[in-house]
C-alpha cells in the first residue's frame, strides 16, 4: 500500500474546480459557438483561434467583488467532500496566482491570488488542496505544446526551454508559497514516448515535488503510469469513466455534472443526483475515489444545478456515510 496516498483513498469524494479566463466566454466567442470536437468550454482559446491579447479581454467580465473561493470550499465541505482540486494553470497557460516565471497570470492583471485564497479557505475548513497543472499543453508559451504542433513540429530544445523556464519554476512556486499541497493533478493522455515530452522531463517534475513536499501525491496523468513508475501515487481514469474492479493501487474518476468542465451556458444535460450518487458509491465500493467538478461563472458563482446536486449528495452522506 501507498502510505502517502492513504488520506486520498480514505477521502473518497473530492471537488474539481475548472475556473479561468475561459469561464468568461461561457462557451461562445463573438457570437460564435465553441468550435469543437468535445464541447469543453475551457478549450475555447485553442478551438476558436483566439489571440492572447483578445483572450485577455475576457477578464473584463470578471466581477472581483463577488468572487470568493471560500464559497467553493464551503460547498465542498457541505457536500461531504474532503479535498478540492483547482485549475492553477489550464491549457491556456494562464496562472491563477502571481507567478514570477510568467506575465500570463492573474497577478499581472489583478491584485488577486486565487491559489492563496483557496489554500487559506481549505485550511480553515479542513480540506486538502489539490492543484491541477497543465504541464504538457500550454497554448500561450511559444514553445508550449498545442495540437497544431503535431503537423508543424517542435524541436526538443525549444520544448525544453518552455519546460525549464515555465513549468519547473511555476511548480516550484506553487509548492513553496501556499503551505501544504495535498496533490498535484497533471493532465496528459498520450504516452510520453509518442509526444515531445521526455521521460526525463516528467521525472524532473516528479522529483521536484518529492524534494519540496514529500507528502504531496501525484496522479498518473503526469504521463507515467503506475505500471511504468510505481512511485506515481494514484491512477486517474478517463474523464467520466467509472471504476469496474478493485485495484492494488489508489485510483480516481474525474467527473462532470453535465459535460463541459469550464462553465458553458448551453451545456445543460445535467445528470441526476441519484446517478451521481451511484457513481460515487460504485467507485467507493471498489476502494476508488470520485472527484466531481464545478465550473463557476466569471463572477465566481457555482451554477445552481451543480450546487443543488452536490448538497443533496452531502445530505445523503450525512445519513448514510461513514464520517
The contact set with ligand JFZ (CB under 6 A) reads: 40, 42, 187, 189, 238-239, 254, 261
- DSSP code of 173? H
Give whichever of 136 and 163 is closer to ligand JFZ, judged by the CB atom: 136
Helix (H) or strand (E) holding 121: helix 114-125
Whole-number minimum distance, CB 221 to ligand JFZ, in Å? 7
CA distances, 30 to each of 25, 49, 140, 254, 296 (Å): 9, 12, 20, 31, 21
Give whichever of 42 and 105 is closer to ligand JFZ, judged by the CB atom: 42
Give whichever of 182 and 262 is closer to ligand JFZ, judged by the CB atom: 262
Task: Write down the residue that cell numbers 474518476 correspond to.
Answer: 253
Given the DSSP bridges, would you call strands 32-33 and 28-29 parallel, antiparallel or unpaired? Answer: antiparallel
Give whichever of 17 and 298 is closer to ligand JFZ, judged by the CB atom: 17
Give whichever of 170 and 293 is closer to ligand JFZ, judged by the CB atom: 293
Positive or negative: CA dihedral 72, 244, 182, 232? negative
Whole-number minimum distance, CB 65 to ligand JFZ, in Å? 28
Helix (H) or strand (E) holding 28: strand 28-29
CA 284, 286, 291 angle in degrees (round to 5)?
Answer: 40
Whole-number minimum distance, CB 103 to ligand JFZ, in Å? 23
Whole-number minimum distance, CB 287 to ligand JFZ, in Å? 21
Whole-number minimum distance, CB 40 to ligand JFZ, in Å? 5
Give whichever of 42 and 173 is closer to ligand JFZ, judged by the CB atom: 42
Give whichever of 179 and 238 is closer to ligand JFZ, judged by the CB atom: 238
Whole-number minimum distance, CB 38 to ligand JFZ, in Å? 7
Whole-number minimum distance, CB 323 to ligand JFZ, in Å? 27
Whole-number minimum distance, CB 42 to ligand JFZ, in Å? 5
List all residues 6 or more positions away from 223 whose beta carbon is below 8 Å from its beta carbon.
135, 136, 186, 188, 191, 192, 195, 197, 202
Whole-number minimum distance, CB 88 to ligand JFZ, in Å? 12
Give whichever of 9 and 236 is closer to ligand JFZ, judged by the CB atom: 236
Contact 18, 295 (CB under 8 A): yes
Radius of gyration of the chain (CA): 19
Helix and strand totals (H; E) in the chain: 11, 10
Tell me the C-alpha distance between 125 and 257, whole Å: 24
Give whichever of 140 and 317 is closer to ligand JFZ, judged by the CB atom: 140
Helix (H) or strand (E) holding 316: helix 304-320
Residue 150 dihedral angles phi and psi, to the nearest 5°: -60, -30
Tell me the C-alpha distance between 194 and 323, whole Å: 43
Amino acid at each position: 500500500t501507498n502510505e502517502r496516498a492513504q488520506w486520498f483513498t480514505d477521502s473518497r469524494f473530492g471537488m474539481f474546480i475548472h475556473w479561468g479566463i475561459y469561464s468568461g466566454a461561457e462557451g461562445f466567442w463573438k457570437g460564435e459557438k465553441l468550435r469543437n470536437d468535445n464541447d469543453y468550454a475551457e478549450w475555447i482559446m485553442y478551438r476558436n483561434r483566439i489571440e492572447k491579447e483578445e483572450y485577455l479581454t475576457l477578464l473584463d467580465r470578471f466581477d472581483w467583488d463577488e468572487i470568493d473561493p471560500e464559497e467553493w470550499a464551503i460547498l465542498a465541505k457541505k457536500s461531504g467532500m474532503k479535498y478540492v482540486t483547482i485549475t492553477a494553470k489550464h491549457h491556456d497557460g494562464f496562472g491563477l496566482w502571481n507567478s514570477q516565471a510568467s506575465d500570463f497570470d492573474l497577478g499581472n492583471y489583478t491584485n488577486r491570488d486565487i491559489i492563496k485564497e483557496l489554500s487559506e479557505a481549505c485550511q480553515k475548513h479542513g480540506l486538502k488542496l489539490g492543484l491541477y497543472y497543465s504541464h504538457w499543453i500550454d497554448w500561450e508559451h511559444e514553445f508550449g505544446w498545442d495540437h497544431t504542433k503535431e503537423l508543424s513540429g517542435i524541436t526538443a530544445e525549444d520544448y525544453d526551454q518552455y519546460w525549464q523556464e515555465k513549468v519547473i519554476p511555476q511548480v516550484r512556486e506553487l509548492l513553496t508559497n501556499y503551505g501544504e499541497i495535498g496533490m498535484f493533478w497533471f493532465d496528459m493522455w498520450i504516452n510520453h514516448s509518442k509526444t515531445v515530452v521526455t521521460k526525463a522531463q516528467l521525472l524532473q517534475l516528479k522529483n521536484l515535488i518529492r524534494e519540496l513536499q514529500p507528502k504531496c501525491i501525484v496522479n498518473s496523468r503526469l504521463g507515467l503510469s503506475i505500471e511504468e513508475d510505481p512511485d506515481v501515487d494514484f491512477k486517474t481514469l478517463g474523464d467520466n469513466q467509472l471504476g469496474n474492479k478493485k485495484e492494488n493501487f489508489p485510483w480516481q474518476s474525474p467527473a462532470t455534472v453535465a459535460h463541459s468542465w469550464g462553465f458553458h451556458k448551453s451545456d445543460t444535460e445535467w445528470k441526476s443526483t441519484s446517478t451521481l450518487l451511484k457513481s460515487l458509491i460504485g467507485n467507493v465500493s471498489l476502494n476508488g475515489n470520485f472527484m466531481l467538478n464545478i465550473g463557476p461563472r466569471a463572477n465566481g458563482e457555482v451554477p445552481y444545478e451543480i450546487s443543488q446536486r452536490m448538497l443533496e449528495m452531502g445530505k445523503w452522506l450525512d445519513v448514510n456515510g461513514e464520517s
